Structure 1
């Protein structure tokens, strides 16, 4: 009889025997599986560390900005009259401020019409911006380019004129107001201030440009007589804001004033009945919050590191990165940065001076009272403890930037050449008569960009008026170059400094009339000099360290004398140094990436080993089963033969 299950014929427990043998054979596979599990746990742990370090890096990015520690507050005794904000360049002080007049934009209105579809007229409107002097009854054009609008059969209604002016988008807004007696077209200068008064002239299709009919209804010359070129009514005069700060009278075109007090933006809302007090003070609460953020960010990262590397004596287990050299190295470097002093020559050189100290458990703690004391005595130096900062002994030299290679230090500065701007100087007095198609075209190349300009034809009262027209055209074309006049000769100067700055004449019919036949073009020069005795690279006004400790240090030289210009003390604050450390670990070729990629390669290798061992074990198990099944079959056969022989022997014995 054939056996279908091992052990049935002989009683041999084949399954148990094979299982026990395979347990022994499983040893290498178990080791590989444990290695793979441990490696995967490390990859997961590195992911947690990378996430924690990335959060730390983000916090440090904010704290590395010096403006975070130079915050100022501004308090107004009457915020409904004047409100203010301040940047780090402002000076803590108290000021007396009186608002005598708010700035206004110029508003003009047309006489009422019965319908929006009423025909106004056809022709051309020209809108100028400038200043009106009521005492001398004169209008002086400003720097804005004149606006020309064509009114045709397609837009000659009241609403059509409104839409045509708004479509020009050139400093004037038009609206229609129903005042109860009819529809009135209202024109408003978009910019406030006495220098933005409107003057509107009409070239009327009916042949008369100043009467109160047709398109000339919209004419407004403030120097003319009402009804004879002064046909719109003035509903709001153009005015400057008038105020005084500490008794000094100030006139500004806008109610938002950014250049009266350095680093302070004033917003005027109403005239003040009496002087207001404006108090600019240090924003200590923001600085305290920033320092607290720094402490918390470090402690969060430190806790993650401790969790991943600790050993639990009670459970006899350790974190996934226990004994890991990369994690240990990061923890050591973090603490090393925080326990050394920054290379400052000021009063603050260490965190403990502002109340930030290490505790026994490795965390940082903040003593708020000590921080407040530090802010009271050395507020301006706290930024240097955290950000990369520099201070020059020369007021016309400032630190504009640095590279990751720049080291802290005290650097001597020597300037051998100051930066200049590219310019074009006319050789003869400018011709004041501009004729369309004859001498109205000007071609300039400003800092490598071509500008083809067309001047408004006409006879100009002076070289200054012609310069203002050229300035308008240059500004409207998108360039910030400035136009100046000297003895009737015009010049154009780039806003940029350095060798890439230049003003060149192109080919156009008006160039000679404006600048003469021998205009001189001068390219800009880069600043030149050395930092700490090593020749630096000049780019515009920036002197850039090229080698050594000052490599990448950028110093802006605003002017001054040639020769030795004092020193610059450059320091790398704690937040800046720690951010660099975090960057080194987190970048694409950093330690964490390299370690994770190495572990991932190990997982791949161990997976292949698992597959190989599993296939080998399957073969071994099948061989064991085949061998013991054969043994079971043999034993069963022998038992059957034994039983048969026993029966035969018994029969022989019974027959004898």
Structure 2
């Protein structure tokens, strides 16, 4: 700010006078700043709504539309030799199993002396065939001239060979000798590790001490990998791994079963788990409509506008907080986007869902609307026992009530064949899109949404108004300066006349 020295001759407090004059001139600027603040508050209120809608949207998608959340099973095994968990089973199972042989990995052990010496860089080339594969995979391992034997072991482990290498004192039957061993990471028959060229073959034999077949270039295994062998419901089967999935149940073979012993695996519907998913959905929905209803019915206090800087300075922090709470209130009152969204959500929930030609609604599963009008459409699980019974008896039907998708191939799907959660997801997505058009997101460019464009316009008007006010303030100071100059001349003339009159009388 430029320092102005005025009022020396007039004795006027020019700064104070100009400030009072400018206070009146600043009223349009104050209104623009208040308009800007109101737009920012409204933008933030919209975005807060979108955050809550996103939370409900995530619940709808993650909990209610994913089939794994409806296929929850509790699986039990009669013996620790076999364990099982449900991953995608739709039906409950009762399985009998016995394990004759566990799947094991292929192992290799150096039988000759380890004569590794540093000083030569080279690229080792391998051909690796995993159990069940028909074609080998080429893997290259680059050895530097400065690498030690431990460096080579480390590089083999991180190379993608599909095996674990180690160097330890290992028994050779009579003694514990310095040995290098390879173990395939995958179990089962058919794992082979072969040298890809003569240099690699020589390195494996002469420097690491492995036996290599001269015809196939394959390392000679210390122990060949084996497949798991077991009986499944009376059917003899084999697998390359001790972990496998049959009909949505993942089985793990832990040990061979005793002779003539059978392990029984049962699965039952995880009624409580599915019930809790539905309850969480109901709770999130109730929270959302409560908050949206609160915004569209919030009281509007028209006498409480955003505070100017001068008003804020004259108040305590508590007074400012209380004032702004009322000034922010009602910004989204009767907002059409939110009100229309609420109406569509209610239709989504209360309309029937057609499943296999029969119509169902939430009330058929023990979920109804609150009898209390003040709850404004809140959902209530009125009959938990009924809902749990439906889940236990027919979890697939309960799932379809929420996540069924219309089989129509047309772009517009039949809403009657859409599950409740799927319809709600579409409505929430539409609400988010409409709100984003109004208020954008944190990462949005201001010109991409309506309030942002309005803010740009207001900020331009504020900049122009500040320039105009600076010019007005400068003119006021110039006028007072001119007044002061005129008074200076007048005082000078007065002093001259007084001195002349004094001289004539003497």
Given the two structures, how large is their TM-score scaled by the length of structure 2? Answer: 0.63
Structure-1 separation of matches of 2:183 and 2:435: 63
How far off is 1:36 after superposition?
Answer: 1.0
Distance 2:495 2:345 in 1: 84
8 Å Cα contact 1:101-1:243 kept in structure 2? no
Matched, 1:328 2:343: no
Cα distance in 2, alignment partners of residues 127 and 320 from structure 1 = 68
CA displacement at 1:593 relative to structure 2: 3.2
- 1:378-397 aligned at under 5 Å gives the runs 378-389=394-405
Equivalent of residue 242 in structure 1, options 222, 230, 238 = 230
1:374 CA drift (Å): 2.7
Q: Is the 8 A contact 2:102 2:226 kept in 1?
A: no
> Deviations for 1:83-113, whole angstroms, at most 9, x for unmatched residues?
1122334421323333344345677989x65
- 236 and 327 in structure 1: CA distance in 2 versus 1, 3 angstrom threshold: closer
Measure, in 1, the Cα distance between the counterparts of 2:455 and 2:129. Answer: 76
Q: In the alignment, which residue of structure 1 is the partner of 2:350? A: 339
Q: Identify if the C-alpha distance between structure 1 residues 185 and 620 changes in structure 2 by more than 3 Å, giving closer, same or farther.
A: closer
Distance, in Å, in 1 between the alignment partners of 2:450 and 2:129 is 72
1:237 Cα offset (Å): 8.8
The separation in 2 between residues aligned to 1:41 and 1:128, in whole angstroms, is 64
Give secondary structure in 1 for the equivalent of 2:394. helix
Aligned to 2:92: 92
Q: 1:280 and 1:59 mapped to 2: Cα distance?
A: 27
**2:375 matched residue in structure 1:** 361
* 2:436 equivalent among 589, 592, 598: 592
Equivalent of 1:578 in 395, 406, 424: 424
Instruction: Tell me, yes or no, if the aligned pair for 2:368 and 2:379 is still in contact at 8 Å.
Output: yes
Compared with structure 1, are the counterparts of its residues 146 and 334 closer, same or farther at alpha carbon in structure 2 (3 Å cutoff)?
A: closer
Q: Hey, what's the Cα distance between the residues in 1 that align with 2:341 and 2:395?
A: 31
**Which one of 274, 280, 286 corresponds to residue 273 of structure 2?**
286
Deviation of 1:29 after TM superposition, in Å, equals 1.7
Contact 1:57 1:582 in 2 (8 A): yes
Q: Is the Cα–Cα contact under 8 Å of residues 87 and 248 in structure 2 kept in the other structure?
A: yes
1:633-648 map, 5 Å: none
Q: Cα–Cα, structure 1 residues 127 and 93, in superposed 2: closer, same or farther, change >3 Å?
A: closer
Structure 1 residues 280 and 24: alpha-carbon distance in aligned structure 2, compared to 1, 3 A threshold: same
Deviation at 1:31, TM superposition (A): 1.6
Residues 1:647 and 1:310: Cα distance change in structure 2 (over 3 Å): farther
Residues in 1 aligned to 2:462 and 2:109: alpha-carbon distance in whole angstroms: 89
1:135-146 equivalences under 5 Å are: 144=134
In structure 2, do the counterparts of structure 1 residues 43 and 21 end up closer, same or farther at CA, with 3 Å as the change threshold? same
- Rate the CA distance shift 1:6–1:322 in 2: closer, same or farther, 3 A: farther
> Greater relative contact order (Cα 8 A, min sep 6): structure 1 or 2?
2
Whole-angstrom distance in 2 between the partners of 1:147 and 1:331: 58
What SS is found at the alignment partner of 1:311? coil
**1:190-228 C-alpha deviation (Å, 9 max, x unpaired):** 7666x7599x9xxxxxxxxxxxxxx9x8789xxxxxxxx
Deviation at 1:282, TM superposition (A): 1.2
CA 1:146–1:305 in 2, change beyond 3 Å: closer, same or farther? closer
The structure whose residues are more often strand, as a share, is 1
Question: Contact 2:56–2:288 at 8 Å: present in 1 too?
Answer: yes
Q: Within 5 Å, which residues of 2 pair with 1:65-104?
A: 65-78=66-79, 80-104=80-104
The answer to whether the aligner puts 1:604 opposite 2:456 as a matched pair is yes
Distance 2:392 2:357 in 1: 15
Partners of 1:610 and 1:145 lie apart in 2 by 73
Counterpart check, 1:265 vs 2:250:
yes
The verdict on how the C-alpha distance between 1:53 and 1:630 changes in structure 2, with shifts beyond 3 A counting, is same
Alignment root-mean-square deviation, CA: 5.2
In the alignment, does 2:47 pair up with 1:47?
yes
Unaligned runs of 5+ in 2: 117-126, 139-148, 195-208, 215-219, 302-324, 441-448
Contact kept in structure 2, 1:57 and 1:579, CA below 8 Å: yes
Report how many residues are paired: 412
**Shift in alpha-carbon separation, 1:352–1:639, aligned structure 2, 3 A:** farther
Q: 1:538-549, aligned counterparts within 5 Å?
A: none
Q: Which moved more, 1:16-25 or 1:55-64?
A: 16-25
The structural deviation recorded for 1:28 is 1.8
Pairing 1:612-631 to 2, within 5 Å after superposition: 612-627=464-479, 630=482
After TM superposition, the score normalised by the length of structure 1 is 0.50
Q: Work out the CA distance in 2 between the residues paired with 1:239 and 1:18.
A: 96
Structure 2 SS opposite 1:331: helix
Structure 1 unaligned blocks of 5 or more? 119-125, 131-141, 149-158, 201-214, 221-231, 391-398, 410-569
- Give the 3-state SS of the residue equivalent to 2:41 in structure 1: helix
Q: Secondary structure at the match of 1:181?
A: coil
Counterpart for residue 179 of structure 1: 172
1:143-542 alignment, distance < 5 Å: 144=134, 177-181=170-174, 196=190, 238=226, 240-245=228-233, 248-254=234-240, 256=242, 258=244, 261-273=246-258, 274-306=261-293, 308-312=295-299, 317=327, 318-345=329-356, 349-359=360-370, 360-362=374-376, 363-367=378-382, 368-389=384-405, 405-408=411-414
Q: 1:144 to 1:188 in 2, by over 3 A?
A: farther
Question: What whole-Å deviation, never above 9, does each CA across 1:247-291 have from its counterpart, x for those lacking one?
Answer: x232213453646x4222221122334322211111223312322
Check 1:13–1:283 CA distance in 2 against 1; reply closer, same or farther (3 A cut): same
Instruction: Please name the residue that 1:420 is paired with.
Output: none
Residue 389 of structure 1: SS of its match in structure 2?
A: coil
